[in-house]
Structure 1
């Protein structure tokens, strides 16, 4: 089962401890074959919408910086419970904030 884990901006400002702990977490998940991809996302985005066949393209950002998705991880796990546990571990490392998990089909 593949899941996309997304994290909103927020939490503590990065420091050496955070980078070290996150580095260990990423190495562990990579070695276990769980982590497929990670990345940070720019705060700006482009909206492409279609209404009655009319397509519009609008430059962002569309949300306040604290509401924007700031990064993601694509993981492959055996169950929903496993991805929730990974998300909890991630949140313990980075501190306060909010994220989302969605299954990838």
Structure 2
């Protein structure tokens, strides 16, 4: 089963991290991704480089706004897709991602319809 995991972040928090801490977090995430790649569970993982935009239909016309945001100024900063044997395994992976030191971020998990 494939699951999409969206990683939410806050630009103010990221901008306030000292360079050494940021480098450490990046290294931890790289190791996290490499472990999933080695297990065969990682399908794709990408960071999003530009500010997010949401497109919604309003009266049959597309309206583009900043977002999508959760509370405050959180935004989708990256995503990854895993192909795992169960929802339980997908949730374990999501929990372990937070263990990479991304304590100020959260992950949303969706199961593919296929």
TM-score class, shorter: 0.7 to 0.9
Correspondence list, 1:38-53, <5 A: 38-41=45-48, 42-49=50-57, 51=59
- Please list every run of 5 or more consecutive structure 2 residues that lacks an aligned counterpart in the other structure: none
Measured against aligned partners, the alpha-carbon deviations of 1:27-82 in whole angstroms (never above 9, x if no partner) come to 1111111111111233231414265xx2x122220337733211110100001110
Q: TM-score, normalised by structure 1?
A: 0.82
Superposition RMSD on alpha carbons, in Å?
2.2
Q: Which runs of 4+ in 1 moved over 4 A?
A: none
Q: 2:65 aligns with which of 60, 63, 82?
A: 60
Does the Cα contact within 8 Å between 2:9 and 2:104 map onto a contact in 1?
A: no
Find the aligned partners of 1:89 and 1:46 in 2 and give their Cα distance. Answer: 29
